[in-house]
Amino acid sequence: MISPDPRLTQTVLDACESLACYSEVAGEITRTYLCPTTRQVHAHLTDWASRLGMSTRVDAVGNLRSRLESRVPDAPTLYIGSHLDTVPNAGRYDGILGVVMGYALVETLAGQALPYSIEVLGFSEEEGVRFGVSFIGSRALVGTAEELLSVQDKSGQSVQDAVVGYGLDPQELLQARASGQALGYLEFHIEQGPVLQNLGAGLGVVSAIVGQNRLTLEFTGQASHAGTTPMYLRRDALAAAARFMVAAEDLARATPGLVATVGMVEARPGAGNVIPGAASCSLDIRHEHDDVRATALQKLLEVAQHEAQARQVSFRVVPHMTEAAIPMNTQFKALLHQAAGELGLPHPELVSGAGHDAQIMAQQMPAAMLFVRSPNALSHHPDEMVNAEDVTAALRVGVRFLEQLAETVGA
Ligand code: HGY
Ligand code: MN
Ligand code: MN
């Protein structure tokens, strides 16, 4: 059993710190899809990869891909990775930690004769911030990114425009596909919630990733004077949206395991003395069981319809994303549990309330995730943090997982 160099934990933390500096907004960590600072992140990691004897390329949608080839001819590939893009004003570990862990594990194993190749993936787009659709990066590996090329951002630029503008070629999407001989995909990620901290565990094995819907609701009424328009004559679009938002929170509070979030609200024309003639709000709704999520969504759309009608306001839904709940691979989970058990580490299983690239990769290969405790339960926030000893534990479990996998492949 190989033990990672104790200095590697600091290497991981330092790398996350360094990559946090490459932001498109001064004073915070914001790195949206194919923004210019992506190049600096790529350069930093490519330099590390080349020191590890890895070959690196950027694929058609901007994923960074570093390979450590096995000496065994036609060996299968194990993918290890996560995403390099962030939400606005993000923390330094969401996504980034999983990519850096990939390189750190290769550093630990350098020189070992593995019966499989390792490809570290730095996905270019998981959060969906710029185009409202998530997983552009990982979807390129499973062959479902093509249909996203025409999606436009608020400025009217399409994904295709962004790809070409960055100097990439959408015609090369086929070369971005994952190997037909994929052993599977392993993603390290911060938990981003309170579960592991409450359990007193540094690591957790993900059982499944919740299903989710992301959509925008658009309400259209009639703008008019805030002072002269009596209440009974109003067609207030924002009032209808507001009733919907309260209903979403009430239903989620009343439904075990359901979360519903309105993260964006817009009222037009957006003047204090004008009744909003138009209003839109986002909805992000998630649950471990798809039927519960579907029923809740249906109920909320009925509420939106009712509140709109009560004000002679029309309303429509603009769907952005629907992802089913995905269980993680049983064999890979067992290897993670076994590795943690051998190392005497607690290894609870938990559902991921956050979406991850693993749910996309699981559509084509065995996929598993190892969560690292979020001590303050904060994420999508600059105060995101990890404990050094939990990173050390994750490295030790990761190395043991790779050794066990080699034994199964080599068997
Ligand atoms: O929103 C999510 O679940 C993830 O952070 N992309
Ligand atoms: Mn995130
Ligand atoms: Mn993430």
Asked if residue 4 has pLDDT above 90, the reply is no
Asked if residue 315 has pLDDT above 90, the reply is yes
Q: Where are the alpha helices (DSSP H) in 117-185?
A: 136-141, 159-165
The pLDDT of 170-187, averaged and rounded, is 95
pLDDT-above-70 percentage for the chain: 100
- Architecture field, domain 7-210+325-410: 3-Layer(aba) Sandwich (3.40)
pLDDT-above-90 percentage for the chain: 95
What whole-number distance in Å separates Cα of residue 144 and Cα of residue 176? 11
The pLDDT of 265-277, averaged and rounded, is 98
Asked if 322 contacts 134 with a C-beta cutoff of 8 angstroms, the reply is no
User: pLDDT category, 2, cuts 50, 70, 90?
Assistant: confident
The pLDDT of 19-26, averaged and rounded, is 97
CA distances 340 to 134, 308, 389, 400, 404, Å, are 31, 53, 14, 8, 12
> In whole numbers, what is the pLDDT of the chain averaged over residues?
96
Q: Quick one: which ligand is closest to 123's CA?
A: 3
7-210+325-410 with 211-323: one CATH topology?
A: no
CATH of domain 211-323: 3.30.70.360
Ligand 1 centroid–CA 192 distance in Å is 9
Ligand 1 centroid–CA 355 distance in Å is 5
User: pLDDT category, 371, cuts 50, 70, 90?
Assistant: very high
Q: Where are the alpha helices (DSSP H) in 226-277?
A: 237-254
Closest ligand 1 atom to 87 CA: 5
**Does 127 sit in the ligand 1 pocket, CB within 6 Å?**
yes
For the chain, which residues make up each domain, given as ranges? 7-210+325-410, 211-323
13 φψ region: left (φ > 0), alpha (ψ -120 to 50), beta (else): alpha
Residue 240 has what pLDDT?
98
Asked if 184 contacts 332 with a C-beta cutoff of 8 angstroms, the reply is yes
The pLDDT of 152-179, averaged and rounded, is 95
Residue 179 has what pLDDT?
86
CA distances 212 to 55, 230, 285, 323, 326, Å, are 36, 40, 6, 5, 11
257 φψ region: left (φ > 0), alpha (ψ -120 to 50), beta (else): left
Residue 269 has what pLDDT?
98
